[in-house]
């Protein structure tokens, strides 16, 4: 009888019976089982910002309980983190036109690179420099890989930045890279170059911990993240899976707190904590990070590396932990803007798995002539800065002017319901980790305060589906407004954490490159950010490279790790 009632409550037959007056007892039984009564709805109205009268509440009780019955079935249905919703977010292309054809890349790689007198100096060579050494056979991939594995073993524990050294896989890849080169096959600038990846990318034969206690022994089977596969194909060598704040928040993971190599008393920020720390300290030449709301920008700033958050839909997230299906992005964290360009070129493009990805051209042109670009800057955010960050940001503007840039003051998009749109992230994250919350395994996460994931996942339960959808409708308008603004400019310069721009551009999907522009009073790096048009990472990377070649911040490294 109970099974029959469950069937009736989820079928058109149930509604027919109600209309005929036959379904009253079944409906009463359903309400009794669910325990949702008028007082519950009245209390819930405060959370949902509603004001139904008593008659309206009484009328909707049957419907609420019927929906709850269906939801309970869903709660008992297992959905793996890798399964996306049956809808996708693609920022509309109403801004500056996107390039239609792919041109040959103009990398302008170094023409002469020698092995250093002190072999330890290799730790801070750029990808571009190492690529020349590999190509000209001044060092083998096996030698370079062994060198960085030793660095990881030497400093990884001190920085708490390494989860797994993938030594067996790495050495096999390095030998393959050397054999290919020996036989006349060169795969490009990443051929034989070691790198690290944030430990939310699945790699067969190695655990994928997501930085979180409940998953610290997780094995994703044969799942291989698309970005790792693409880097395999480019000849790069994965040497380590690096730390992340648990479930992609902050720098606290199940094994400790990842350190900033410039100041070991300070965390490295997150959530791409290990990627930033390990790259800055010379444990890897580059690393992969992810960003949903600052997780590339923030650790790139704290650790003083160059980070690229590409356009949403530029890089496939297949095989990566999902936090927010409409906001997650994957990008490189490197020593220079040129290195970011080299890595992006390898990892971009469709894979027929992540259906948000679009295969638009990436026409990188080396350094930029700033006098020929229209560059805006967010004046109010620069004026509102404080301390050493404000001083460094002001100097950065002067550097750009000295390079020929004419900077136009720009007002950023405002008067939008940003709080509601930020709830998109927590609602999606709560869905991604629904089972973790319901099983009470969220108590195994290290951080348990009001701002940590366990509490945010719980709180997000009270965001209604109606509000989630309407927040995305407001987001559509936000994309339109940012497109209209960006359409007038090639680049907009901003303090990395100025005003609402970080939240805004993560919601709209616009790309950003962040790079070191000085230090604060504690000796930790500060940064400046360049925002670009959708799928125009090439321009902001060219501007960033021009800035870096006129300054020397990208050539300065944490003193403790130089030897």
**How does 235-257 read in b/e, with b if 16+ C-beta sit within 10 Å?**
bbbbbbbbbbbbbbbbbbbbbeb
In a domain, 533, yes or no: yes
- Pick from 235, 219, 226: nearest CA to 170: 235
49 shares its domain with 134: no
504 shares its domain with 377: yes
In a domain, 431, yes or no: no
Query: How many domains does the chain divide into?
Result: 2
Give all strands (DSSP E) within 199-255, no chain letters.
237-242, 252-253
Token match 């259906």: residue?
355
Which DSSP letter does residue 490 get?
Answer: S
- Pick from 234, 161, 237, 229: nearest CA to 199: 161
151 shares its domain with 7: no
What six digits make up the tokens of 542?
A: 């060219």
**Which residues in the chain show pLDDT less than 70?**
1-34
If one counts every other C-beta atom within 10 angstroms of the C-beta of residue 483, the result is 19
What six digits make up the tokens of 130?
A: 């190492």
384 shares its domain with 283: yes
Contact 524, 516 (CB under 8 A): no
What six digits make up the tokens of 235?
A: 């000849």
In a domain, 25, yes or no: yes
H or E element that contains 516: strand 512-519
Tell me what pLDDT residue 27 has.
41
Distance (Å, rounded) from C-alpha 390 to C-alpha 384?
8
Those residues with Cβ within 8 angstroms of residue 103's Cβ, 6 or more apart along the chain or in another chain: 361, 363
62 shares its domain with 145: no
Q: Alpha carbon of 339 to those of 193, 306, 365, 511: distances in Å?
A: 12, 9, 13, 16
Distance (Å, rounded) from C-alpha 249 to C-alpha 200?
12
278 shares its domain with 387: yes
pTM: 0.92
66 shares its domain with 130: no
Contact 128, 189 (CB under 8 A): yes
Those residues with Cβ within 8 angstroms of residue 95's Cβ, 6 or more apart along the chain or in another chain: 482, 483, 484, 486, 487, 533, 534
380 shares its domain with 526: yes
Tell me what pLDDT residue 16 has.
34
Q: Alpha carbon of 334 to those of 75, 85, 207, 344, 532: distances in Å?
A: 41, 32, 24, 11, 19
Show the domain range for 44: 2-75
Contact 206, 212 (CB under 8 A): no
Domain stop point among 39, 54, 75: 75
In a domain, 439, yes or no: no
Domain stop point among 41, 58, 75: 75
* φ and ψ of 194, to 5 deg: -70, 155
- Pick from 93, 271, 95: nearest CA to 198: 271
Domain stop point among 50, 75, 100: 75
If one counts every other C-beta atom within 10 angstroms of the C-beta of residue 557, the result is 18
In a domain, 540, yes or no: yes
141 shares its domain with 252: yes
Give all strands (DSSP E) within 133-221, no chain letters.
162-165, 194-198
38 shares its domain with 146: no
If one counts every other C-beta atom within 10 angstroms of the C-beta of residue 126, the result is 22
141 shares its domain with 11: no
- Residue 288's SS3 state is strand
Distance (Å, rounded) from C-alpha 44 to C-alpha 50?
8
Tell me what pLDDT residue 25 has.
36
H or E element that contains 507: helix 501-508
Give all strands (DSSP E) within 149-253, no chain letters.
162-165, 194-198, 237-242, 252-253
For 28-68, what is each residue's pLDDT tens digit? 444 345 579 999 999 999 999 999 999 999 999 999 999 89
Kindly write down the DSSP assignment for every residue of 368-415, as one continuous string. --GGGS-EEE-HHHHHT--HHHHHHHHHHHHHHHHTT--EEE-PPP-S
243 shares its domain with 166: yes
Contact 309, 442 (CB under 8 A): no
- Pick from 80, 95, 529, 122: nearest CA to 298: 529
SS (H, E, C) 79-114: CCCCCCCCCCCCCCCCCCCCCCCCCCCCCCCCCCCC
Tell me what pLDDT residue 34 has.
52
**How does 105-115 read in b/e, with b if 16+ C-beta sit within 10 Å?**
bebebeeebee
End-to-end CA distance of the chain: 75
In a domain, 529, yes or no: yes
Contact 268, 299 (CB under 8 A): yes
In a domain, 491, yes or no: yes
In a domain, 494, yes or no: yes
CATH code of the domain in which 557 resides = 3.90.1300.10
H or E element that contains 530: strand 525-532
Tell me what pLDDT residue 491 has.
98
Contact 327, 312 (CB under 8 A): yes
């Amino acid at each position: 009888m109970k099974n029959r009632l469950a069937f009736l409550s989820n079928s058109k037959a149930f509604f027919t019976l109600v209309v005929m007056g036959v379904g009253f007892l079944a409906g009463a039984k359903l309400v009794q089982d669910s325990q949702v009564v008028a007082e519950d709805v009245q209390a819930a109205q405060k959370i949902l910002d509603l004001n139904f009268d008593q008659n309206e509440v009484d009328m909707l009780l049957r419907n609420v309980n019927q929906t709850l019955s269906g939801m309970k079935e869903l709660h008992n249905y297992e959905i793996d983190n890798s399964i996306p919703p049956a809808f996708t977010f693609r920022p509309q292309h109403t801004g500056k036109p996107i390039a239609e054809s792919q041109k040959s890349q103009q990398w302008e790689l170094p023409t002469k690179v020698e092995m250093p007198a002190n072999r330890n100096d290799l730790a801070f060579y750029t990808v571009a420099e190492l690529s020349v050494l590999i190509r000209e056979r001044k060092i083998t991939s096996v030698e370079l890989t062994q060198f960085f594995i030793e660095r990881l073993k030497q400093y990884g524990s001190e920085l708490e930045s390494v989860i797994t050294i993938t030594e067996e896989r790495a050495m096999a890849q390095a030998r393959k890279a050397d054999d290919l080169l020996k036989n006349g096959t060169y795969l490009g600038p990443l051929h034989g170059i070691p790198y690290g990846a944030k430990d939310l990318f699945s790699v067969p034969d190695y655990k994928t911990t997501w930085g979180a206690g409940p998953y610290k022994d997780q094995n994703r089977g044969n799942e291989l993240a698309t970005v790792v596969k693409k880097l395999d194909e480019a000849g790069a060598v994965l040497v380590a899976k690096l730390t992340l704040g648990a479930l992609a928040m902050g720098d606290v993971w199940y094994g400790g707190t990842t350190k900033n190599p410039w100041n070991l008393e300070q965390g490295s920020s997150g959530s791409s904590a290990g990627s930033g720390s390990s790259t800055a300290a010379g444990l890897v030449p580059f690393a992969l990070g992810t960003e949903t709301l600052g997780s590339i920008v923030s650790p790139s700033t704290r650790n003083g590396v160059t980070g690229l958050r590409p356009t949403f839909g530029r890089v496939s997230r297949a095989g990566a932990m999902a936090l927010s299906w409409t906001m997650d992005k994957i990008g490189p964290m490197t020593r220079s803007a040129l290195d970011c360009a080299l890595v992006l070129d390898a990892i971009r493009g469709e894979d027929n798995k992540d259906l948000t990805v679009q295969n638009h051209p990436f026409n990188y042109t080396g350094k930029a002539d700033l006098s020929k670009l229209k560059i805006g800057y967010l004046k109010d955010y620069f004026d509102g800065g404080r301390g050493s960050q404000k001083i460094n940001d002001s100097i950065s503007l002067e550097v750009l002017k000295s390079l020929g840039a004419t900077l136009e003051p720009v007002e950023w998009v405002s008067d939008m319901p940003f709080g509601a749109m930020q709830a998109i992230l927590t609602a999606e994250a709560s869905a991604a980790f629904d089972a973790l919350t319901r099983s009470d395994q969220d108590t195994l996460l290290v951080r348990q305060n009001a701002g940590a994931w366990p509490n945010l996942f719980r709180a997000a339960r009270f965001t209604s589906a109606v509000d989630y959808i309407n927040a995305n409708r407001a987001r559509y308008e936000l994309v339109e407004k940012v497109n209209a603004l960006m359409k007038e400019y090639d680049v907009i310069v901003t303090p990395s954490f100025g005003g609402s721009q970080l939240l805004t551009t993560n919601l709209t999907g616009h790309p950003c490159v962040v790079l070191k522009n000085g230090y604060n009073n504690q000796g930790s790096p500060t940064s400046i950010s360049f925002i670009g048009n959708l799928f125009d990472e090439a321009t902001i990377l060219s501007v960033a490279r021009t800035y870096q070649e006129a300054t020397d911040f990208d050539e300065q490294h944490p003193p403790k790790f130089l030897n």
